[in-house]
Amino acid sequence: MSFLNKITLRLRIFLSMLVLLLLSLLITGAFSIYHFYEENEEYHNKRLTRKAVNLISAIDYHFKSIDIVDKDNLDSIIAPKLKEWADIHNIDVLFYDMEGELIRSSSKQILDHKDVKQTLSPTFVFRVINEKSVITKSQEDTTTVLIAYQFIRDSFENPLAIISIPYFENETIPDQDIEFLEYLITLYIVLFLLAVVIAYFLSNYITQSLSTIGQRLSHTQINKNVPLQWKSNDEIGQLVKEYNRMLAELEGNAVKLARSERESAWKEMAKQVAHEIKNPLTPMRLLVQQLEYTLKTEDTEKLKEFTIAMLEQIDAMVTIADAFSRFADMPNSKREEFDVKALLERTIAIFSNLNIDLEGPDGDVLVSADKNQLLRVFNNLIKNAWQSVPEERDPKITIRLNETDENVQIEIEDNGSGIDPEKQERVFEPSFTTKSTGMGLGLAMSQNIIEGLKGKIWFETKAEKGTTFFISLPKKSNNA
């Protein structure tokens, strides 16, 4: 069993093909030899039958020259001609009357043969009369003994006698038949050797792709894997297709894992940064306010400007800390069913100073989501769209709302500068921003919110033409 486990698949296929080919050749050879012997026996049977027919024709011809032929004068009629008939047709002939008794034979030596009967049974006589022609067969060492029985008629067409013709078939194969069998065996050997070569190349061809897959599997990495190519849609093609699918899934999972690890690291750092920033801010605010009330100075206006500036900087740092806190502690979604079109209209109303168009279907477009979280996403994307437009260009923002049987899709398009190709892969990373202000957490937070709702967010951009962000959310019925 351990030996079988060590045999490679290529060798198993090769050996299986050889076994099948060998069995096929053996079966074909056995059938050919069997067919050869069957034809040989049929040949001898037909030859014996022809001899019997020719003999009966000669007997009938002789009987026509005699006025009356009956059982009384039968022996005297056939006695002078029996030796002649036997010599002409190269056979031995025996005559039996209709009671099965031997009348005369062409050779006394033939009577010594064990298969030649002195008397025929009534049953056998009846069989000969009924079947008109009977051939018996017996085996004697390497010789097959065939004996043909037929009856002859008298002048009145009545059964007169039964003739028997022994035929000894030597089973020794003739030289020409031996030569034919040698040719046949040689042909089978050549075919088998040719089949061995073909089976070898076929087994290599079949397992070549499997070997390639094995080698690729041994060098599979987390990413940067090259898919396999297979033209046929057969079993190996299905295996290659599944391997390529697993590669794509592995690389996708690797990307998600890397992003998740980065986000986890950022969230942990954000917690620490927010904590470390907030700790000194409150006492700093109190100290500045206390300084304003207690410090005596001749230039009160300058003191006031100083305290206002300090308080503004403290408030800015609080804003930064709050942003880090919100990114680090994403609240759990509180889903509710609402009209996303109405939410977009209210969001646009907040940015009343901007040129924003909303295109969408008439009527409500329902989704099941956290309204506050989705509002934060819309605010972030509209604000980013506005800030991406150069100062010399009038902002133009278009929001499109589309729905299918399964999804609701929102498009937010701007006419800004677009995103540089080298920066596109990092758009949703924390800390990434193309603006001079901000911490770059808005898009990362938006992606977390949308994916938490089992949706997708992506973008398309063209240099100096603008960027379009797409949001796809499952419809209400899919979120139930």
pLDDT digits (tens, 9 = 90+) for 439-455: 456 787 788 888 888 88
Alpha carbon of 31 to those of 46, 190, 312, 443, 480: distances in Å? 22, 19, 105, 80, 71
For 42-174, where are the E strands, in sequence order?
94-97, 102-105, 133-140, 143-153, 159-170
Say whether domain 235-328 belongs to CATH 1.25.40. no
> Where residue 371 falls among pLDDT bands split at 50, 70, 90?
confident
Closest CA to 395 of 421, 342, 357, 359: 357
CB 445 within 8 A of CB 327: yes
Say if residue 194's pLDDT is above 80.
yes
| 191 or 5, higher pLDDT | 191
Most confident of 129-133, 233-237, 297-301, 426-430: 129-133
CATH no., domain 336-478: 3.30.565.10
Q: Give the whole-angstrom CA distance, residue 16 versus residue 318.
A: 77
The pair of three-digit structure tokens given for residue 399, joined into one six-digit string: 């929001």
Task: Give me the residues paired with residue 140 across strands.
Answer: 143
pLDDT value of residue 327:
57
pTM: 0.41
Give the least confident one: 164-178, 204-218, 272-286. Answer: 272-286
pLDDT band at 400 (very low <50, low <70, confident <90, very high): very high
**The predicted structure's pLDDT at residue 259:** 67
User: Does the pLDDT at position 389 exceed 80?
Assistant: yes
| Residues 470 and 362 sit within 8 Å (Cβ to Cβ) | no
Look at residue 222 in the predicted model and tell me its pLDDT: 61
Domain ranges of the chain: 2-177, 235-328, 336-478
Tens of pLDDT, residues 453-466: 888 999 999 988 89
Separation of first and last alpha carbons in the chain? 56
The closest of 373, 356, 338 to 447, measured between CA atoms, is 373
The residue that leads in pLDDT, 9 or 331, is 9
* Element holding 320 (H helix, E strand): helix 300-328
Average pLDDT of the chain to the nearest whole number: 78
Fold of 2-177: Beta-Lactamase (3.30.450)
Q: Can you list the positions of beta strands (E) in 351-465?
A: 356-359, 366-369, 397-403, 407-413, 456-462
Neighbours of 351 (CB within 10 A): 17
Give CA–CA dist 288/436, Å, rounded.
29
| Contact present, 396 and 355 (Cβ < 8 Å) | yes
CB 191 within 8 A of CB 25: yes
Element (H, E) at 39: helix 9-64
CB-based contact 163:53 (threshold 8 Å): no
Residue 384 is predicted with a pLDDT of 87
Which of the two residues, 73 and 414, has the higher pLDDT score? Answer: 414
Q: Which of the four pLDDT bands, split at 50, 70 and 90, describes residue 221?
A: low
User: Which residues contact residue 170 at a Cβ distance below 8 angstroms, ignoring those fewer than 6 apart?
Assistant: 142, 143
The answer to whether 218 and 33 have CB atoms below 8 angstroms apart is no
List Cβ neighbours of 388 (8 Å cut-off, separation of 6 or more). Answer: 414, 416, 417, 418, 434, 466, 467
Residue 98 DSSP code: T
